[in-house]
């Protein structure tokens, strides 16, 4: 274990560098643009996370964004002056058995292809029991009729999925011209959360979920691995020096792992 994973203890809050993953005190991290590689993949859902427009939950009660979810390092517990505990950067949570289903039809799928539906799901971290049973399948637009495809029994959070031929889904009579509504029916004794919903079109009957692709307002596809830039919390080791325009002239393809050597003008 590197020393950076064991910061000296004092009253400061710990966090992780989002590039190397090591722990640091938050005062030693900065937010900066970072280049990353988005892997090839697609998400044919209009929205990959829950909201009231593209997803709905039947029968379960809304508990707000109180679970830590998939990215537990991003969630924080906050205590107000009057001792009210809340979660910052939490994930939408529900209580009691219920059904999460899409309310917007998927993009049109090729009749000769296969559909892979996946999502991350798990129990609320304070549940007395982590056991959950989830049925996955397709449904009609109002959720009144459905066709179960696969059942999962889990004890903790997990990415679950099914892969099925589009022709088989169409035969259920619940979709229209290759457009479908998907659901996850949850049975549990406490609270639960769901996130990172994804729909992919594949050519294999035993395909597993691929690289997760975020979608927000429209289906998203990356035909190849794509270089992108985003903001990250980073440590000093992972901080990338920004080049000035004057330094771009005559620079090499060498990676800027260190600041450029400074010129020094001398008169004769």
Domain residues for the domain of 17 are: 3-36+229-240
- Do residues 31 and 45 both lie within one domain? no
- Do residues 19 and 70 both lie within one domain? no
- Do residues 50 and 26 both lie within one domain? no
pLDDT of 246: 60
Q: Indicate whether 268 belongs to any domain.
A: no
Number of domains making up the chain: 2
- Do residues 11 and 77 both lie within one domain? no
Q: Indicate whether 173 belongs to any domain.
A: yes
Q: What residues of the chain score a pLDDT lower than 70? A: 1-4, 242-268
pLDDT of 142: 94
- Do residues 105 and 233 both lie within one domain? no
- Do residues 105 and 234 both lie within one domain? no
- Do residues 22 and 119 both lie within one domain? no
pLDDT of 229: 86
- Do residues 12 and 111 both lie within one domain? no
Which of 5, 22, 24, 6 is CA-nearest to residue 14?
A: 24
- Do residues 54 and 124 both lie within one domain? yes
Distance CA 242, CA 219 (A): 33
Any idea which residue has 């559909």 for tokens?
115
- Do residues 161 and 98 both lie within one domain? yes
Burial class of residue 149 in the structure, from the number of CB atoms within 10 Å of its CB (0-12 exposed, 13-18 middle, 19+ buried): buried
pLDDT of 184: 98
- Do residues 29 and 154 both lie within one domain? no
Q: Indicate whether 266 belongs to any domain.
A: no
Q: Indicate whether 121 belongs to any domain.
A: yes
pTM: 0.83
* CATH number, position 79: 2.60.120.260
Distance CA 72, CA 106 (A): 29
Q: Identify whether the C-beta of residue 70 lies closer than 8 Å to the C-beta of residue 91.
A: yes
- Do residues 69 and 165 both lie within one domain? yes
pLDDT of 221: 95
């Amino acid at each position: 274990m590197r020393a950076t994973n064991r910061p000296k203890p004092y009253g400061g809050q710990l966090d992780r560098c989002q590039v190397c993953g090591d722990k640091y005190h938050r005062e030693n991290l900065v937010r900066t643009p970072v280049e990353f590689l988005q892997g090839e993949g697609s998400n044919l859902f209009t929205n990959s996370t829950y909201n009231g427009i593209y997803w709905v939950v039947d029968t379960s009660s809304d508990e707000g964004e109180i679970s830590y979810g998939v990215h537990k390092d991003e969630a924080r517990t906050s205590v107000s002056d009057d001792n009210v505990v809340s979660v910052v950067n939490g994930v939408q949570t529900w209580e009691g058995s219920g059904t999460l289903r899409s309310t917007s039809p998927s993009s049109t799928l090729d009749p000769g292809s296969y559909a892979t539906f996946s999502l991350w799901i798990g129990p609320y971290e304070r549940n007395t029991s982590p056991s959950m049973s989830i049925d996955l399948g397709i449904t009609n637009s109002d959720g009144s009729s459905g066709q179960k495809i696969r059942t999962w029994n889990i004890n903790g959070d997990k990415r679950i999925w099914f892969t099925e031929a589009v022709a088989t889904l169409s035969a259920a009579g619940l979709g229209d011209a290759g457009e479908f509504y998907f659901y996850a029916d949850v049975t549990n004794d406490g609270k639960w959360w769901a996130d990172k919903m994804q729909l992919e079109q594949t050519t294999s009957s035993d395909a597993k979920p691929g690289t997760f692709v975020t979608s927000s307002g429209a289906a998203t596809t990356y035909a190849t691995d794509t270089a992108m830039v985003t903001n990250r919390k980073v440590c000093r080791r992972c901080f990338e020096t920004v080049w000035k325009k004057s330094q771009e002239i005559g620079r090499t393809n060498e990676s800027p792992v260190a600041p450029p050597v400074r010129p020094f003008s001398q008169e004769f």
